[in-house]
């Protein structure tokens, strides 16, 4: 009887260990059990040199966004990252050997709700129908529209993305959440972002979780429940606000632990993390 009990306990432990291992981080920085790029993916050390070479050799990315205020943060960060970490991270909107092709002009200057909530999908369809560059990744960024979106509008976005995936099965489409807006975890932005996350988890979609990435500092401290704003300020206490990025930057060496750049909408550290997460995304897609 004691032997059977021991074998049972060992079996349970093996199941638990296997489950833990299935959720471990691989060299693309994302969870090996899913396609979600979030704050845990904002870590370049998880990406091997071999993977970076695969990214540069295999991906041709079309990135849609409406302006530099939000959508441009990823591009800004990736450009500045080259000075910080070197030429392997170089990007170009021209086809060049050993450089990642990433073009944010191919699909038109739409957000996901401007000038209407389907223009981005129409322009994507039109471009891919006659594509001559071999685009195999499409990623679209929201402006600030998720804050005021209804659940039906988010459903339409998800449906349009899914339709494009079906029509162009050789292209990988990346979903995205909306940027933080100073509201909390019970307000509309959070609920709509959760709607996007739930759909992506349930259907195995690839998600770049913009809001999640800007809600954590590099040490994993969460600020999303403190009325976090785009510029990294949050409700610190009853007498005033804090800024998680400035607080972290002040304790860590510039040029060693983080890179500086000129930015108006948010702090450099937030853009650092979005660039790191972008490279984790490319690594995931290049597998």
Please give the Cα distance from 38 to 211 (Å, whole number). 8
Please give the Cα distance from 169 to 190 (Å, whole number). 30
The tens-digit pLDDT sequence of the chain (287 residues) is: 454 444 444 444 443 343 344 344 444 433 434 699 999 999 999 999 999 999 999 999 999 998 778 999 999 999 999 999 999 999 999 999 999 999 999 998 888 888 899 999 999 999 999 999 999 999 999 999 999 999 999 999 999 999 999 999 999 999 999 999 999 999 999 999 999 999 999 999 999 999 999 999 999 999 999 999 999 999 998 788 999 999 999 999 999 999 999 998 999 999 999 999 999 999 999 98
Classify residue 169 as exposed, middle or buried by CB count within 10 Å of its CB (0-12, 13-18, 19+).
exposed
Domains of the chain: 34-285 (3.40.50.1110)
């Amino acid at each position: 009887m004691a032997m059977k009990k021991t074998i049972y306990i060992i079996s349970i432990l093996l199941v638990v260990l296997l489950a833990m291992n299935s959720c471990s981080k691989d060299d693309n920085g994302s969870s090996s059990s899913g396609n979600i790029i979030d704050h845990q993916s904002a870590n370049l050390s998880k990406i091997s040199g071999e993977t970076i070479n695969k990214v540069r050799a295999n991906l041709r990315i079309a990135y849609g966004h409406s302006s530099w205020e939000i959508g441009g943060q990823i591009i800004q960060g990736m450009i500045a990252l080259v000075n910080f970490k070197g030429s392997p991270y170089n990007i170009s909107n021209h086809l060049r050997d050993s450089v990642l092709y990433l073009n944010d002009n191919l699909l038109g200057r739409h957000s996901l709700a401007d000038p209407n909530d389907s223009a981005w999908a129409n322009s994507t369809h039109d471009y891919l129908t006659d594509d001559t560059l071999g685009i195999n990744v499409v990623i679209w960024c929201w402006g600030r529209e998720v804050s005021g979106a209804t659940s039906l509008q988010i459903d339409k976005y998800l449906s349009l993305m899914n339709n494009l995936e079906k029509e162009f099965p050789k292209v990988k489409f990346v979903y995205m959440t909306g940027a933080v807006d100073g509201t909390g975890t019970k307000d509309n932005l959070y609920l709509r972002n959760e709607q996007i996350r739930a759909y992506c988890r349930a259907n195995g979609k690839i998600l770049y979780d913009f809001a999640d990435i800007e809600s954590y500092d590099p040490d994993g401290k969460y600020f999303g429940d403190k009325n976090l704003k785009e510029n990294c300020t949050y409700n610190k206490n009853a007498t005033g606000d804090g800024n998680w990025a400035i607080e972290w930057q002040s304790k860590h060496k510039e040029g060693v632990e983080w890179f500086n750049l000129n930015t108006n909408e948010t702090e450099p550290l937030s853009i650092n993390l979005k660039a790191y997460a972008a490279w984790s995304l490319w690594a995931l897609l290049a597998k």
